[in-house]
C-alpha cells in the first residue's frame, strides 16, 4: 500500500468515534487472523466480549486510564509485592 494512502486511511480512521475505531480494528485484526484458524464458537465468543467491552466504555461502567496513570498504578502494585 502506498505510504500516502496509508496516511490518509490512518487520519480518517483516527477521526472515527471510539466505537467505530474499535469495530474497524476488530475487523482488520480478524482479516489477519483468518477465520478458518479458529472454531466458530471461539470467534463468536470474542465478538461478544469485544461488544461487551465497547458497551462498558460507552456506558461509563469502566475507568479508562492513560498510559502514565496505568504505569503509575502498575508500579505501585509491583512495589507492594
The model's pLDDT over 2-35, given as tens digits with 9 standing for 90+, comes to 679 999 999 999 999 998 999 999 888 878 866 5
Alpha-carbon gap, residue 26 to 21, rounded angstroms: 8
> What are 15's three cell numbers?
477521526
State yes or no: pLDDT of 75 exceeds 80. yes
pLDDT computed for residue 12 by the predictor:
94
Q: At what angle do helices 3-14 and 18-33 cross, to 10 degrees?
A: 140
Answer whether 0.85 is exceeded by the pTM: no
Least confident of 9-18, 34-43, 58-67: 34-43
pLDDT computed for residue 37 by the predictor:
64
Amino acid at each position: 500500500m502506498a505510504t500516502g494512502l496509508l496516511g490518509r486511511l490512518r487520519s480518517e480512521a483516527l477521526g472515527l468515534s471510539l466505537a467505530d475505531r474499535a469495530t474497524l480494528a476488530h475487523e482488520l485484526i480478524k482479516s489477519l487472523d483468518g477465520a478458518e484458524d479458529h472454531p466458530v464458537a471461539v470467534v463468536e465468543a470474542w465478538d461478544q466480549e469485544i461488544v461487551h467491552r465497547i458497551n462498558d466504555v460507552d456506558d461509563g461502567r469502566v475507568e479508562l486510564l492513560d498510559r502514565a496513570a496505568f504505569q503509575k498504578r502498575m508500579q505501585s502494585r509491583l512495589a507492594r509485592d
